[in-house]
Structure 1
Amino acid sequence: MKISARNQISGTVETITPGAVNGSVKVAIGGGQTITANITEEAIADLGLAPGDAVTVIVKASDVMIGK
């Protein structure tokens, strides 16, 4: 898959928490860190996501903030 977004992080699906419309997908990215994505239940089904799946987290945002 080619995509223009430069912020791509490989990881493994840890958990999927279903919701009414959107589900929460937690992805382990190494070093004990996780990224959580809230995506539609339809997208979860279309991608066939399940815990243990190797995935790529793609971050495309107009604003990225850093706090300290």
Structure 2
Amino acid sequence: MPANQLKRAEQAIESLREAGELPPKATFALSELVEVVRNIDKRLTVLEGKGRIHPTAGMGLPNRR
């Protein structure tokens, strides 16, 4: 999924959150789904041989090069 689509999804979720159109739990769940899609997309890129992700990249470890 293109990054711009994920960014638009995040912006739409933020708009829903600010407008109070959905319960907070629902907007949180939607945000989590966007993050899951982003992670799956990264892994697929690796499997397709288009890039290489360090195994600890998603862990937020300090001092990782």
TM-score, length-normalised on structure 2? 0.24
State the structure with bigger RCO (CA 8 A, min sep 6), 1 or 2.
1
Q: Which has the higher helix share?
A: 2
Q: Which has the higher strand share?
A: 1
Structure label with greater radius of gyration: 2
Give the TM-score normalised by structure 1: 0.23
